[in-house]
Structure 1
């Protein structure tokens, strides 16, 4: 399994390196991960028992030619990522943790330990709202599979495979899926990558 993860990290860096050649805010965020030294793993990747597992098979079916190689590297690793959802519970959305979550590979609590940078994958099931929230970290997403409505500071746009989305520090954003699950790569950077998101 460790070989799968190593290949996934390598392919993720290759993918982001192409975008890092453009010198803008998104390119600079992509370059941070490309240049990041990946430590030896301090944890293991066991098969997950997360409820998100039921979305995995479908979640990788809605990519594009642009994301195909990364999805190919990601697919065997998906059941073994440390999927979790540890935000505050919401009385109005009690099953949200069964419909969305993230598998972090690099980060303060990830198998590859890094106190100052995060890298992983986010998965949202069909017809799922990731409610409006914000966090201190600067967040870069790239959609790998599926289409969703992404909203940043009140402006909404449907995004699909191959598109990059940048969420600056403490800006309010949300995502809404419809008839496809969403699978996306993410990175967190900045002075504080430990503080979790807060819902608006």
Structure 2
């Protein structure tokens, strides 16, 4: 049985991808609202960063923030597809959920998507992977490096990383909550942290 709050969240995320307009985004939008989940989204234990996430979402104006907050108890935080590629210090500053993917609750062989939260005043070091990736900032913000471009990104910003583009993000005092999507070659073994003078 589906939850109205979770169905609303998926519909809201689908709308975001339809607005993005890339071919992979449109496929993602359709899959979110038409592909049945392998299992029902059931109540979860709160993750370690739950209180900070809820505070950030409660103050956010993006339409998705309210939908995430309403479904927060059902979101499977801690289902990071690259958790085994991360250091303990990197894992401690963020929480990740996977909602769609080859092994995800919503099956998709060539897409991965989920939500990403990074705590305030933290740096997620330079890294890359084979997949094309798009982030959409939903709450908070960060100084975002994507290749040679470094600038502040905030709610409503779309950031696209083509395959193997190095990227990193540094949060300020409010933290960051974003939607992420991988398309193309969505393998996890290519995920790698890179030499980073800013780390």
Alignment of 1:154-165 (within 5 A): 154-165=148-159
TM superposition score normalised by structure 2: 0.84
Aligned to 1:12: 13
- TM-superposed deviation, 1:195: 3.5
Shift of 1:57: 1.5
Question: C-alpha offsets along residues 45-100 of structure 1, whole Å, 9 cap, x if unaligned?
Answer: 33134212232212214533xx2x2211111222332222414343xxx4432320
The TM-score, its normalising length taken from structure 1, stands at 0.83
Deviation at 1:122, TM superposition (A): 0.6
What is the CA-CA distance between 1:193 and the residue it aligns to?
4.1
- Report the counterpart of residue 52 of structure 2 in structure 1: 55
- The answer to whether the Cα contact below 8 Å between 1:138 and 1:168 also exists between their aligned partners in 2 is yes
How far the C-alpha of 1:154 sits from its partner, in A, is 3.6
In structure 1, runs of 5+ residues without a counterpart are 21-26
Distance between the aligned counterparts of 2:18 and 2:144, measured in 1?
Answer: 24
Match of 2:115 in 1: 121
Residues 1-200 of structure 1 mapped to structure 2, 5 A cutoff: 2-20=3-21, 27-36=22-31, 38-45=34-41, 46-64=43-61, 67=62, 69-84=63-78, 85=80, 86-90=83-87, 94-195=88-189, 197-200=191-194
Q: Is the 8 A contact 2:125 2:169 kept in 1?
A: yes
| TM-superposition CA deviations, 1:6-35 (whole Å, max 9, x none) | 211111112332332xxxxxx444323223
Q: After alignment, is 41-50 or 73-82 more displaced?
A: 41-50
Q: Count how many residue pairs are aligned between Structure 1 and Structure 2.
A: 188
Alpha-carbon deviation of 1:148?
Answer: 0.5
Q: Name which of structure 1's ranges 40-49 and 145-154 shifts more when overlaid on structure 2.
A: 40-49
Note the alpha carbon deviations across 1:142-174, whole angstroms, 9 max, x for none. 101001011012421100001100011111100
Question: Equivalents in 2 of 1:184, 1:57: separation in Å?
Answer: 13
Once the two structures are superposed, what CA deviation does each residue of 1:124-143 show, in whole Å capped at 9, x if it has no partner?
01111111110111111110
Alignment RMSD, CA only? 2.1
Contact 1:103–1:120 under 8 Å retained in 2 = yes
8 A Cα contact 1:115 1:193, kept in partner: no
